[in-house]
Structure 1
Amino acid sequence: MGRRKKKRSPEQRDGLLILNKPSGPTSAACLNDIKHQLKQFKIGHGGTLDPMAEGVLLVLLGHGTKLAPYLSGGTKTYRGTFRLGITTDTLDIQGEVVKESDVSASAEDVKRAILYWKELTEQEVPAYSAAKHEGKPLYALAREGKETPVKIKPIVISHVEVLDVQMPEAAFRVSCSAGTYIRSLVHSLGTRIGCGATLTSLVRESSEPFGLDQALDLMDVLENPESFPERVIPLADTLPHWPRFTLTEPLSGLVKNGAWLPVVDQPGELLAGELGDQAMLLDPEGTPLALVEAKLQNGTPKWAILRGLWNQD
């Protein structure tokens, strides 16, 4: 027998909630509170934050979970602080101090070291992280006292800004590719300077295309369940940085049958675009049909279906 589908909660919403995660609880704990207290049993995220970190956490609800790959991969911007002369096992101030060193570097040395982040193209994944080895999170191996494999990942740092340096502490802002570990950036800086460094605070200011000014406090969300539905961004508005095309009924029918529609090369026209462009297709009522990308099919530009959204089961 096939698996029986879970009954959908009448309170379940479809779309996106922009949460201002507080420092302290894990991202999973925040999602669990929303899941159980507001009966949002189909729930996901667009990139977690460490327990110490706060700021923008994209919470995906219902059919919004289908958009995870397209919301989690955007550029993230963080504001943070670190302290020189301390190294911890987790690379942040919540970890156990494993080394303390004198700080001989100057404020100018620290500024240059922060700005050097923009030259980095890869980083080492922290031992205390959710990255997996043979199906097991590295943090689980670390907590068991087992050796964690060294994993290197590519990163892109698009913007770096020195906000303040008051030795032995400094503040910064950085914009980076999804999955970049800010703890590792700080740790590598401390290694280059020679005295160690530990992240002391971190705020995610934006997760493209949404910012902290749009985010809601967790307790406010939980304590006001009556206003929750209107706070959820509808599915059709979850990718505001993508073009949206409202199709005719015949074209909608073709998309539901899996057809790739032709790319129009006249700007401003329905289905206009260039190779590599991504867009959302809507039916005549404004209901999302599919996410598409302009690709070549037999030498002809077509809107290839990335993710069908018309099945609302």
Structure 2
Amino acid sequence: MARRRKQKRSKEQLDGVLVLNKPSGPTSTDCLNDIKHQLKQYKIGHAGTLDPLAQGVLLVLLGQATKLAPYLTSKEKIYTGTFRVGFTTDTYDIQGETTSETPFSGSADDIRREIVAWKELTEQEVPAYSAAKHNGKALYALAREGKETPVKIKAVAISHAEALEVNPPDAEFKVGCSAGTYVRSLVHSLGMRLECGAVLTSLNREASVPFTLDQAYDLNQVLEEPEKLPQRVIPIADALPHWARFTITEELTKLVKNGAWLPVNANPGEVLWGKPGDRAMLLDPEGSVLALVEAKPQGDQLKWSILRGLWQQG
């Protein structure tokens, strides 16, 4: 088999996190492709996709920051949104085909109660129109082909559920949830409990921890002002503000680049201090990002194991 040719890094390529305010309409991939081709950011990814209907915080990872995806995608998300009761669609949102209509006969308090009840959920049904895979194929692809999609259940954690404004058949809400939670499934389950159906009509991601909407730039802003992109991108060294950061010596830097695990310092507040399970970012003497590490036992010692090397090769 022929070896895949390594793509040459463009001189415009940046390394870091761009907090994007995704507009409603395009897919997350559409937004990334615009940035990729128009701004020559050929090494690009994201941490936590948004449905086409949704808008708000989309973490765009550039260059070496694509390696941070597992550590940013897994964090909590905060949303505000609206839904309408009285019908259902095949996608659980307003963009789908209507599958049933049942007039809502309850009260605004009934809807408020069911929004708050989201906090009791520990699992949810994955929508048939989703990117979740079955035998290597996305469920939405199977659904569009008219094929039966298997029912998949996933664990969720809802930290916050609040009714903001309720005027039946419409309601506005705020929810804090674990990564990968389908908000349209929360709405669908609420509709099933009310025995009339409910459909998501708008969704705005206000935060993808640790980043919030007030740090985000509109897609048009980013594309129309390419000269400002470098100052809008958060450097990798600042991309995990909830992690400890340690600047180490040149000697220790060489050890890390050779795959060595460094001893964890037992003295609180000092360089390389930590406790089991802690995660940290290591910087070299010049302040460049070196590696992501986690405190793990090795034999009878606690050491910083390398999760991901981030130094530039060559």
TM-score (norm 1): 0.98
Mapped to 1, the partners of 2:270 and 2:187 lie a distance apart of 47
Mapped to 2, the partners of 1:134 and 1:37 lie a distance apart of 35
Is the 1:114–1:162 Cα contact (8 Å) retained in structure 2?
yes
Q: For each residue in 1:92-130, what CA deviation from the matched residue of structure 2 results, as whole angstroms up to 9, or x when unmatched?
A: 001111111111121111111111110100101000001
Is the 1:90–1:128 Cα contact (8 Å) retained in structure 2?
yes
Instruction: Give 1:218's aligned residue.
Output: 219
The SS at the match of 1:153 is strand
State yes or no: 1:142 paired with 2:173. no
Instruction: Give 1:192's aligned residue.
Output: 193
> Which residue identity is paired with 1:211?
T
Instruction: Give 1:285's aligned residue.
Output: 286
The SS at the match of 1:304 is strand
Is the 1:63–1:312 Cα contact (8 Å) retained in structure 2?
no
RMSD: 0.9
Percent identity for Structure 1 against Structure 2: 71
Write the mapping of 1:11-26 to structure 2, written as runs, cut at 5 A: 11-26=12-27
Instruction: Give 2:247's aligned residue.
Output: 246
- Of residues 43-52 and 223-232 in structure 1, the stretch that sits farther from structure 2 once superposed is 223-232
The SS at the match of 1:40 is coil
Mapped to 2, the partners of 1:265 and 1:159 lie a distance apart of 36
Deviation at residue 147 of structure 1 after TM alignment: 0.4
State yes or no: 1:52 paired with 2:71. no
Tell me the number of residue pairs that the alignment of Structure 1 and Structure 2 aligns. 313
Q: For each residue in 1:200-258, what CA deviation from the matched residue of structure 2 results, as whole angstroms up to 9, or x when unmatched?
A: 00000000100000000000100001111111111111111111000011111111111
> Which residue identity is paired with 1:117?
W
Mapped to 2, the partners of 1:251 and 1:128 lie a distance apart of 49
Write the mapping of 1:94-173 to structure 2, written as runs, cut at 5 A: 94-173=95-174
Q: For each residue in 1:262-313, what CA deviation from the matched residue of structure 2 results, as whole angstroms up to 9, or x when unmatched?
A: 1112211001111111100000001111100111111311111100112436
Instruction: Give 2:73's aligned residue.
Output: 72
Instruction: Give 1:258's aligned residue.
Output: 259
> Which residue identity is paired with 1:77?
I
> Which residue identity is paired with 2:159?
S
Instruction: Give 2:210's aligned residue.
Output: 209
> Which residue identity is paired with 2:35?
I
> Which residue identity is paired with 1:119?
E
- Of residues 296-305 and 17-26 in structure 1, the stretch that sits farther from structure 2 once superposed is 296-305
Mapped to 2, the partners of 1:196 and 1:251 lie a distance apart of 60
Instruction: Give 2:233's aligned residue.
Output: 232
Is the 1:44–1:60 Cα contact (8 Å) retained in structure 2?
yes
The SS at the match of 1:233 is coil
Is the 1:242–1:278 Cα contact (8 Å) retained in structure 2?
yes
Mapped to 2, the partners of 1:13 and 1:246 lie a distance apart of 22
State yes or no: 1:269 paired with 2:288. no
Mapped to 2, the partners of 1:299 and 1:90 lie a distance apart of 53
Unaligned runs of 5+ in 2: none
Mapped to 2, the partners of 1:123 and 1:4 lie a distance apart of 42
Structure 1 runs, 4 residues or longer, greater than 4 Å off? none
Deviation at residue 2 of structure 1 after TM alignment: 3.8
State yes or no: 1:31 paired with 2:32. yes
The SS at the match of 1:29 is helix
Mapped to 2, the partners of 1:15 and 1:118 lie a distance apart of 34
Mapped to 2, the partners of 1:246 and 1:268 lie a distance apart of 13
Q: For each residue in 1:120-143, what CA deviation from the matched residue of structure 2 results, as whole angstroms up to 9, or x when unmatched?
A: 001010000011111111001101
Mapped to 1, the partners of 2:313 and 2:185 lie a distance apart of 41
Deviation at residue 260 of structure 1 after TM alignment: 0.9
Unaligned runs of 5+ in 1: none
Mapped to 1, the partners of 2:114 and 2:3 lie a distance apart of 57
Mapped to 2, the partners of 1:7 and 1:302 lie a distance apart of 36
Mapped to 1, the partners of 2:210 and 2:48 lie a distance apart of 13
The SS at the match of 1:222 is helix
Q: For each residue in 1:25-58, what CA deviation from the matched residue of structure 2 results, as whole angstroms up to 9, or x when unmatched?
A: 0000000000000000110000110000000000
Is the 1:14–1:234 Cα contact (8 Å) retained in structure 2?
yes
Is the 1:19–1:215 Cα contact (8 Å) retained in structure 2?
yes
> Which residue identity is paired with 2:193?
R
The SS at the match of 2:230 is helix
